[in-house]
Amino acid sequence: MILCCGEALIDMIPEPTVSGDDGYVPHTGGAIFNTAIALGRLGCRTGLLSGISTDLFGTQLVGDLRASNVETDRLMRSDRPTTLAFVQLTDGQASYSFFDENSAGRMIEPSDLPQTINDVSALYFGGISLACEPGADVYERFAQAHAQNCIVMLDPNIRSGFIKDEAGFRHRIERMMRLSDIVKVSDEDLHWIYPGDASLDDKVAQLRALGPSVVILTRGSAGAQAWLPDGQSVCVPSRKVEVVDTVGAGDTFNAGVLAHLSDAGLLTKNALATVSAQDLTDAIGLGAQVAAIVVSRAGANPPWRSDL
């Protein structure tokens, strides 16, 4: 099982009303939630570990998880409010304003975590759930407790406007990258993590020196590149589609990568340490394929396996 650990929230998406002004429609989302949904639809056994409210939005989140075959027995339920992310779309590109104070997702505690995860082969982390305490500390502690026995994949998915303690966040992300077997970053994320004029290749080398077996770099329309443990890299182009919006594109890409590695039996420490160039090419290729489908649709609406 792949256990996705992090935020589930409501994206408030602007849509025209009958008066012509934009209103906001609640759509389930969040980086980690989106990846769990995409994995469930791709046929992988998947669960979500997240703080979820018992309010109407929390009910909507749980309903959508179950409808996409995501296991919900590790959700941490409370009566705190659901995180809201108001989305602004500019030429299809999404920016976000978050409302997260005292939320169910953020105010989790170590005692809320499951004590055993014997059925889990891989853990997936990232997003805003690593940016704000106390939840960020809880997820980091969970990763530390289980990184020895599980594959760990990290996508920092930087939302700089959400980060209050930049120095603390940078230290946490570096610690998480050192724990991880797979790190996926966008080119924008990489430039944020390693500011300065160094090339992307030099910045990837800095990241690889932290120890992950596989590093994946996505560059939007320029496609994706991945580095094997021996330093060899492989590339795939992006799929050319008519873009409606980019909401959930990176999250769904990550699901495609994990789905291929899972199907190929590669979600073990030993298998990743010797992963072949062809398998890694196929993994990021599936990521690009499913991401292309998502950007051709409104909102984070990942494809089912049958859609491929």
Q: Where are the domains of the chain?
A: 2-307
The beta strand positions in the chain, using DSSP E, are 2-5, 9-16, 22-29, 46-49, 51-53, 70-71, 76-78, 84-90, 93-99, 122-126, 151-155, 182-186, 214-218, 224-227, 233-236
**Contact at 8 Å (CB) between 7 and 50?**
yes
The Cα 140–Cα 94 span in angstroms is 27
- β-bridge partners, 217: 185, 225
Q: Digits of tens for pLDDT over the chain (308 positions)?
A: 999 999 999 989 888 888 888 889 899 999 999 999 999 999 999 999 999 999 999 999 999 999 999 999 999 999 999 999 887 877 767 677 889 999 999 999 999 999 889 999 999 999 999 998 999 999 999 999 999 999 999 999 998 888 889 999 999 999 999 999 999 999 999 999 999 999 999 999 999 999 999 999 999 888 999 999 999 999 999 888 887 777 788 999 999 999 999 999 999 999 999 999 999 999 999 999 999 998 888 778 899 999 98
Tell me, what DSSP letter sits at residue 304?
P
Burial (Cβ within 10 Å: 0-12, 13-18, ≥19) of residue 104: buried
Q: Which two tokens stand for residue 177?
A: 């990258």
Task: Give the Å distances, CA to CA, from 258 to 92, 197, 271, 295.
Answer: 26, 32, 13, 19
The Cα 239–Cα 254 span in angstroms is 15
Residues 6 or more apart in contact with residue 217 via CB below 8 angstroms: 184, 185, 186, 187, 190, 200, 204, 224, 225, 226
| DSSP states of 218-283 | E-GGG-EEEE-TTS-EEEEPPP----S--TTHHHHHHHHHHHHHHHTT--SHHHHHT--HHHHHHH
Q: What is the pLDDT of residue 296?
A: 85
The Cα 188–Cα 184 span in angstroms is 12
The Cα 107–Cα 28 span in angstroms is 19
The Cα 81–Cα 83 span in angstroms is 7
Beta strand pairing status for 182-186 and 224-227? unpaired
* Residue (of 204, 206, 231) closest to 218 by Cα position: 204
- Domain 2-307: what homologous superfamily? Ribokinase (3.40.1190.20)
- If one counts every other C-beta atom within 10 angstroms of the C-beta of residue 169, the result is 19
Q: Which two tokens stand for residue 48?
A: 């979500």
pTM of the model as a whole: 0.94
**Contact at 8 Å (CB) between 186 and 218?**
yes
Q: What is the pLDDT of residue 92?
A: 62
Beta strand pairing status for 46-49 and 70-71? parallel
Strands, sheet with 93-99, edge to edge from the N-terminal-most edge strand: 22-29, 9-16, 84-90, 93-99
**Contact at 8 Å (CB) between 218 and 250?**
yes
With H, G, I as helix, E, B as strand and everything else as coil, classify residue 149.
Answer: coil
